[in-house]
Structure 1
Amino acid sequence: MDGPRTLAIDVGGSGLKATVLSPDGEMLSERERRETPYPCTPTVLLDELTALAKTQPEYDRVSVGFPGAIRNGRVREVPAFSRRGPGKDPDPKLVALWTGFELEQALAERFAKPVRVANDADVQGCAVIKGTGMELVITLGTGVGCAVFFDGALLPHMELSHGRFGEGLSIEVACGDNERHEVGKEKWRERVMDALEAIEAMVLPDHLYIGGGNAKKLDPDTLGPNRTLVPNISGLLGGIALWDRTAAPRPDRVPAATSG
């Protein structure tokens, strides 16, 4: 088998998932899932992902989708893990621990392998886009993620879901999983459809892809044209495409070769 094996990790607000992918994207192992612990500090997450990786066969590099804004491997903001639990208010101590955390470097040191980290919607989008025109990816899970591509190139990550609408809530909160339980399925669906229109009005995409664990709770017959539901497994399968669509890791984030 020519080419590197990729450990693909999908970090979610409710679950941590991993599998090893062949160079052509075939899953070489069963998807392993662990519950996301709360409160989830950087150390707690690193320990959980280290344990998760040990359940997988040999790999040469690592791709990680993360539920927050990542810039140059550093955490800019992470709504999910800034809270002591889903639906709770941000905790100042957790915000301080995560803001500026060198996640890519920390993971490279833990795994002793080359690592790339990106927002989870960015990674999922890498697996599903066609590579033509302006393409928008929205993920519905614990919160709401978004990614934008132009002619196959991943654009710098923007937290479009932090925009406010409706009753003054952010899209991230209003269409998140906690509010889905609070307001019920039908009201939540209405909010999601309004949110999709609001984000589309800003981006003007040629096509919209909707993924994440809650995408299956939408009615595909009511989505309208140029909108496609994509499977949640794309969050893992994008692990290879992430390497093809993003720049090489900075030299200080590539660990020294180790034996064994």
Structure 2
Amino acid sequence: MRATAIGIDIGGTGIKGGLVDVLSGELIGERIRVATPEGGEPEDIARVVKEVIEQLDAPADVPVGICFPSSIRHGVTMLAANISQRWIGFEAEKFFEKELGRNIHFVNDADAAGYAEVIYGAAKDQKGLVIMTTLGTGIGAAMIYDGVLIPNAELGHLEIDGFDAEKRASGVVREREGLSYPEWAKRLQRYYSHVEMLFSPELFIVGGGVSKSHEKFLPLLELRTPIVPAKLFNKAGIMGAARLAFDLE
């Protein structure tokens, strides 16, 4: 029997899911993507997640990991980004277990992606502290030490030069302000230098859609810490959520 788990990645625009071989880090069958219901209410999202899981046709005892754009404490979603404000302080894990009739593990989306990169991707076999950042609408972050996830590291909200870091250096800011890659790299330099000073990691990993263009900005950064692009791209959330659900089962 394969060691399998389901990974679900809930985003503001799309909900993605797949059945994962958690030993190899490969999808079993196709990845499924469905649009996130308008308004992002918990009941509507649970209904879509249930439909995705049914399409995956996995046994009822297969663990399910769900990654979500929020810090999460004991299964409770603490924040809400591009979805209903009802998610703030919402007992998401209990609610989804009731709605889906399965054991569920909720995890922050950046945490899931970072964990996947450590297990299967750019940081495989890396010792010490790894910090993954996702440069998108904001700056998501994950911290993993010797393969152990340190959850809910909201490093995109560090105050630097009087600004919330992600309001100066996220991928969306680059697009909105029309910054060239060298101009953006100066802001990233300030951000990563500050994080490096605070935590002295062994490795930085950069994810998010812009990481596909990593050769345009990563070589411009001058850091003591190696900094590399993520390898798993849009599969990272699914892979990490599935593996965490399996490991914690």
Q: TM-score range by the shorter chain?
A: 0.7 to 0.9
**1:108 and 2:103 correspond:** no
Please, which moves more after superposition, 117-126 or 188-197? 188-197
Q: Post-superposition shift, 1:148?
A: 0.9
TM-score by length of 2: 0.81
Q: Which residue of 1 aligns with 2:7?
A: 8
Match of 1:70 in 2: 72
Alignment correspondent of 2:219: 221
Distance apart, 1:146 and its partner CA? 0.7
CA pair 180-55 structure 1, distance change in 2 beyond 3 A:
farther
Residue 208 of structure 1: how far off its partner (Å): 0.9
Question: How far apart are the structure 2 equivalents of 1:223 and 1:50?
Answer: 43
Is the Cα contact below 8 Å between 1:148 and 1:154 reproduced in 2? yes
- Unaligned runs of 5+ residues in structure 1 are 82-93, 249-260
Change (3 A) 1:47 1:205: same
Distance of aligned partners of 1:14 and 1:144 in 2 relative to their CA distance in 1, 3 Å threshold: farther
Indicate the residue corresponding to 2:121 in structure 1: none
Amino acid at match of 2:81: P
Aligned pairs for 1:121-132 within 5 A:
121-129=110-118, 130-132=125-127
Counterpart of 1:174 (choices 163, 168, 171) is: 168
Deviates more, 1:64-73 or 1:43-52: 43-52
Cα distance change on mapping 1:119 and 1:192 into 2, 3 Å: same
- Structure 1 position 12, deviation (Å): 2.4
Q: Deviations over 1:80-119 (max 9, x none)?
A: 43xxxxxxxxxxxx43x12210111122222212111111
Structure 2 contact 22–246 (Cα < 8 Å) conserved: no
Q: How many Å separate the matches in 2 of 1:49 and 1:244?
A: 18
Q: Is the 8 A contact 1:131 1:153 kept in 2?
A: no
Amino acid of the structure 2 residue aligned with 1:21 = V
State the alpha-carbon separation in 2 of the partners of residues 131 and 30 from structure 1. 30
Q: Do the aligned partners of residues 244 and 165 (structure 1) sit closer, same or farther apart at CA in structure 2, a change above 3 Å counting? A: same
Query: Would the alpha carbon gap of residues 178 and 23 (structure 1) be closer, same or farther in structure 2, given more than 3 Å must change?
Result: closer
Displacement of 1:184 in angstroms is: 2.0
1:201 Cα shift? 2.3
Q: Relative to structure 2, which stretch is displaced further, 150-159 or 39-48?
A: 39-48
Gaps of 5+ in 2: 119-124
Q: Secondary structure at the match of 1:58?
A: coil
**Following the alignment from structure 1 to structure 2, what is the Cα–Cα distance between the partners of residues 56 and 133?**
36
